[in-house]
Amino acid sequence: MYQVYNNYQTIMNTAENIEAKFEFNWEEIAFKLFISRELDDLEEYTLVKNKKVLYQFSARGHDLAQIILGQCIIGQRDAVSGYYRSRPLLLAMGLPPQQALEASMMKLGGFSDGRDIGVVFNNPKTDGACIFPMSGGVGAQYTPVSGWAQAAKYHTEVLKDNRWKDAIGLVLGGDGSVATNGFWSALTIATTQQLPQLFYIEDNGYGISVPSEFQTPGGNIATNLASFKGLTIISGDGTNPQQASELVAQAHSIVRYERKPVLLRLTVPRLNGHSAQDTQTYKTSQRITFEQQHDPLPKLKKFLLTHSILTEDKWHEIQKNAKSAVNKAFIKADNKPFANPDNVTKNVFCEYDGNGEMILQKQGGIHLSKPLFPPSSGEVIAQPGRINMVTAIRKTLDFELQHNKRMSVFGEDVGAKGGVHAVTLGLQEKYGKQRVFDTSLSEEGIIGRSLGMSLAGLLPVPEIQFRKYADPAEEQLNDIGSMRWRTNNRFAAPMVVRMAGGYFGCGDPWHSQTAEVKWVHAIGWQVAMPSNAEDAVGLLRYALRDNNPTIFFEHRRMLDDIWARREYPGDQYIIPFGKGKKITDGDRLTLVTWGGMVSRCHQAVLDSKLDVDLIDLRTIKPWDKEMVIESVKKTNRILIVHEDNLSAGFGAEIAAILAKEAFYYLDAPIERLTMPDIANPHEPGLMNAAVPTAGKILQAIKNLDQA
């Protein structure tokens, strides 16, 4: 394990003898290295002990190579995604020490105004390197950078914007992160698409306490990837100033000018514990001594003095100036106030000012480019002939693709095949493979890529074939939804994630799940669940033009169900979210449902011959609380029907609201009819024994009517 710090190896898989010339500012490198060390000292020895910093991750040992690398991120449209130990890189890119301290001290003026931990930085920027909102999840940083790199090609080749022609994406990760799904998914995306993405792996030999041999065979990801196609691999010592700068320049040159992906692995010592609470008892004294001997700070001094780049006096002057700068920054940061607790619930979704103007995020989404959408209205201008939901969704995607050049549709099998549900049939032929394209079989990659594309100003419309398949992408989905809130409206990643699910001619635990309540519970996601072709058009158009991320649920049974067929309502038709629809009017009881249960509820109401207020919510986040409460005030009884499981299903949320806000209008208990707490059974008889059917809904209506 010890000898890796002395290796100077370069594995070149796709290029040879690359001229890598880059003029590094060594005086600035020394200054930023001292700044980084002073910040670490201040936090570790003073601020953590005084509870002014609650999370602290020292970058000692990692700092020199990061600062060298940071000087290369100079493109007008570059992007960087780091992790909790990436502050030195940001300092090299211009992060002021005061703002770094405001973040770690949870003060107003930091990267989230105290909402997120201070080590997950961000910096919205459209005229220089954008620093992505960092994720607290290890490995989650990789695929969003792949999305940005793909967006750079899209902006250049499709939108003809030459400002993106030399843009690159840089992602940082430790040796532990190379075991994650995100790392491998991003490698697949970057190499198969030949994207300008630089993977920088800081190998300190440990993932907290677990040696790197447990993360990858032999503990060296560069060696293991030597035969990986389409990837240049460079490996060496990150503590040697001359060697590190040469390798960084080489990697940068290939990515920036050859437009090819590179993995740069540099070995570095982690001179402190994983965090301020880590005592490193799992390391031997010999290991700790060895790491201290490879501290890059004295190596930098020796290099600069030996090559007459700096004098001894200048070195000490730089150190003194850095200490002074950090002290001044601390005084200013310490005097800054904390954020107003009254505002902590703001910016979950896009908000509007007193004049009805959208309060835009600083980075992400198409609205910053001020798109001019075609006119829209809630008026139905029906075209003759009933169409199914598949056709309705396809026609809507087609129209919006035609009028929004920043929009792209992608996922597994959406291209030549047209999707496993045939929704995207013919769209690739019409709009080309850059706008409608297939992806590798990785939901993590599909959604993570979408995040990066949205931050680059595009509108991604990814498809997840079945609801259950979204689970591997849950970390990315959660990061996307919480992004606006946790950055306090600095960043947002609007997109429309189309996913299918629900009962069909049969069921099964993998393709027939709905579980929509998970995304209602998640921060920052809208959830639309149309029951018919007309509503699918209006809701999808709204989602595609909105400034928030949306889960658009396409129910398998309703995609070609006779009941769900409607006349196409026109290319202008739009339905704002949060507006339910009355299917039938009545005063005997209220029946609330959505998605694949609406048609069965409608049949049950017709069979009951009772005057029932049947409400199709259409969206469940937001949901039309006012319509439901007004109906209950009239009928005094309510039945909630949904396909998701009973326990903690969305019906429980509706029941809780009604118990508080409409309790005195109820003449009978609130009733729910749902799936039991089981997976969807495969055999049709078992499935219909579990899923609410028209017959079971009819019986529930009769029971409630007689209560």
482 conformational bin, left if phi > 0, alpha if psi -120 to 50, beta if neither: alpha
Which pair of structure tokens corresponds to residue 496? 């429309």
Residue 12's pLDDT is what? 56
CA separation, residue 134 to residues 117, 130, 249, 466, 482 (Å): 10, 12, 25, 28, 12
Bridge partners (DSSP) of residue 491 are: 363
Reported as a pLDDT band with limits 50, 70 and 90, residue 543 is very high
Q: Which of the residue ranges 20-24, 268-272, 701-705 would you say has the lowest mean pLDDT?
A: 20-24
- Write down the pLDDT at residue 18: 46
Nearest to 271 by CA among 600, 36, 545: 36
Inform me whether the pLDDT recorded for 16 exceeds 50.
no
Give the pLDDT of residue 11: 60
Pick 668 or 13 by higher pLDDT: 668
Q: DSSP label at 368?
A: G
**Helical (H) or strand (E) element with 409:** strand 407-411
Mean pLDDT of 48-69: 94
pLDDT in tens, 136-146: 899 999 999 99
pLDDT of residue 4: 37
> pLDDT-based confidence at 274, cuts 50/70/90?
confident
pLDDT at 355 over 80: yes
Neighbouring-strand partners of residue 235: 9, 265
What pLDDT digit, counting tens, does each position of 157-170 carry? Answer: 999 999 999 999 99
The pLDDT mean for the chain works out to 94
Mean pLDDT in residue range 390-401: 98
Q: Is the bond preceding residue 371 a cis peptide, omega within 30 degrees?
A: no
**What CA–CA distances, in Å, run from 559 to 165, 334, 553, 566?**
41, 58, 11, 12
Give the tens place of pLDDT for each residue, 476-505.
999 999 999 999 999 999 999 999 999 998
pLDDT recorded at residue 36 = 97
Asked whether residue 696 carries a pLDDT value surpassing 60, the answer given is yes
CB-CB neighbours of 667 under 10 Å:
10
pLDDT(365) > 60: yes
Q: Dihedrals φ, ψ of 621, to 5°?
A: -150, 100
In this structure, of 210-214, 436-440, 530-534, the range with the lowest mean pLDDT score is: 210-214
Q: What residues contact 495, with CB distance under 8 A and at least 6 apart?
A: 450, 451, 453, 454, 459, 460, 461, 462, 480, 549, 550
The answer to whether the pTM exceeds 0.75 is yes
**Is 1's pLDDT higher than 50?**
no
Where residue 98 falls among pLDDT bands split at 50, 70, 90? very high
- Residues classed as catalytic: 443, 511
